[in-house]
């Protein structure tokens, strides 16, 4: 039986500057410098870090700190409440960034002491194992790994022929769309209303709200697991992403809507401050009317 991965923080060690060899006896030092390029925030690594992978041996990143920048943990802003950009998993995220992305000059951004060429799928696996070695919790690291696997399956850097690339892409998109649609249908079913393109869910019986919620949650668990079987060798990622999307769909939609609202307000204030002030006054006045009417009822 294979030993569980994780809890070996000493696999990370100091990579030192490019002019010196790594120091296995010293802990990894994450030194970052914040930079802006075309209005986007990036981070330069002022010192290299090394990771001793169980299958590939020592991986040193970046190969050249002068030509490499990172965006830390690459997750959409709407999901940072679940997987933050920084934290205990940061060293693993920096290693992954270097493994999957070339340096600014187009060269490989990592050095494999044993001469391995790391493809995108293997880089995602290294990310998952490295997160375990940083002490990242099981749920968070599998969610993060599934998220980067989704990017791999939808991206262009796949180590497969074109037909297989499109097979994975179509499977991933179709299964996730089915989960979103079923969530839409289940929502209307729970509200005892009929919505557009929302037939009733056969596993949600008519009854108390508690019973319907339990049945809905059961469907949100079972259906994604079945759909994940079509992901083939990536079925674990499909199961994690599918169940996460099904169970957290409404939270994600609310957070996304609030994010869009905040972004829209920022744009409006920057481009038309007088219009923004008038709208703010109108919203406050409308809220005051609602409160007064509710109190006087």
| 211-224: pLDDT as tens digits | 888 888 898 899 99
Structural domain contains residue 72 = yes
Query: Is residue 136, in this structure, part of any structural domain at all?
Result: yes
Q: Does residue 81 register a pLDDT over 70?
A: no
Cis-peptide into 256, omega within 30 deg: no
**Of the given ranges (161-175, 190-204, 227-241), which has the lowest mean pLDDT?**
190-204
pLDDT at residue 76, as a whole number: 62
The first and second tokens of residue 143, run together, are: 């969610």
Cis peptide leading into residue 129 (ω within 30°): no
What residue spans of 76-136 are helical by DSSP H? 90-100, 120-133
* Cβ atoms within 10 Å, residue 218: 12
Ranges 74-88, 114-128, 139-153, 269-283: which has the least confidence: 74-88
Which of 73-87, 156-170, 200-214, 215-229 comes out lowest in average pLDDT? 73-87
Tell me, yes or no, whether 277 and 251 share the same domain: no
pLDDT at 231: 94
Q: Please check whether residue 4 lies inside any domain of the structure.
A: no
3-state SS, residue 283: helix
User: Looking at per-residue confidence, does 105 or 226 come out higher?
Assistant: 226
Query: Does 6 have pLDDT greater than 70?
Result: no
Q: Is residue 84 a part of any domain in this protein?
A: yes
Categorize the per-residue pLDDT at 5 as very low, low, confident or very high, splitting at 50, 70 and 90. low
Instruction: Provide the pLDDT for residue 223.
Output: 92
Please say which residue of 154, 170, 189 terminates a domain.
154
Q: What is the pLDDT of residue 96?
A: 93
Q: Is the confidence at residue 3, as pLDDT, over 60? A: no
Is residue 279 included in any domain, yes or no? Answer: yes
* Residues 35 and 89 placed together within one structural domain of the fold: yes
Range of the domain at 277: 260-296
Tell me: do 218 and 99 sit in the same domain: no
Distance in angstroms (rounded) separating the CA atoms of residues 279 and 268: 10
In the predicted model, is pLDDT for residue 1 greater than 50? no
Distance CA 33, CA 110 (A): 19
In terms of domains, do 18 and 90 share one?
A: yes
Q: Are residues 191 and 266 in the same domain?
A: no
- Give domain status of residue 95, yes or no: yes
Is residue 2 in some structural domain? no
């Amino acid at each position: 039986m294979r030993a569980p991965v994780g809890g070996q923080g000493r696999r990370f060690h100091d990579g030192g500057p490019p002019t010196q060899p790594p120091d296995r006896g010293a802990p990894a030092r994450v030194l970052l410098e914040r930079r802006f390029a075309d209005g986007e925030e990036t981070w330069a690594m002022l010192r290299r870090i090394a990771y001793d992978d169980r299958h590939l041996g020592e991986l040193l990143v970046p190969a050249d700190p002068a030509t490499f920048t990172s965006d830390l943990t690459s997750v959409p802003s709407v999901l940072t409440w679940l997987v933050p950009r920084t934290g205990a998993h940061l060293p693993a995220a920096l290693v992954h960034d270097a493994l999957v992305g070339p340096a600014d000059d187009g060269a490989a951004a990592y050095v494999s002491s044993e001469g391995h060429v790391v493809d995108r799928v293997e880089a995602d696996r290294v990310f998952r194992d490295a997160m375990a070695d940083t002490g990242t919790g099981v749920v968070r690291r599998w969610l993060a790994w599934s998220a980067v696997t989704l990017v791999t399956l939808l991206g262009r850097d796949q180590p497969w022929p074109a037909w297989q690339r499109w097979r994975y892409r179509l499977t991933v998109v179709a299964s996730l769309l089915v989960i979103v649609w079923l969530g839409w249908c289940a929502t209307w079913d729970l509200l005892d209303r009929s919505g557009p393109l929302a037939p009733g869910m056969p596993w949600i019986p008519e009854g108390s709200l508690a019973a319907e919620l339990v049945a809905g949650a059961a469907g949100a668990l079972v259906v994604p697991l079945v759909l994940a079987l079509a992901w083939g060798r990536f079925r674990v990622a499909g199961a994690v992403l599918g169940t996460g999307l099904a169970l957290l769909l409404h939270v994600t939609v609310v957070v996304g809507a609030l994010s869009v609202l905040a972004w829209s307000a920022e744009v409006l204030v920057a481009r038309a401050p007088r219009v923004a002030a008038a709208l703010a006054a109108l919203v406050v006045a409308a809220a005051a009317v609602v409160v007064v009417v509710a109190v006087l009822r």
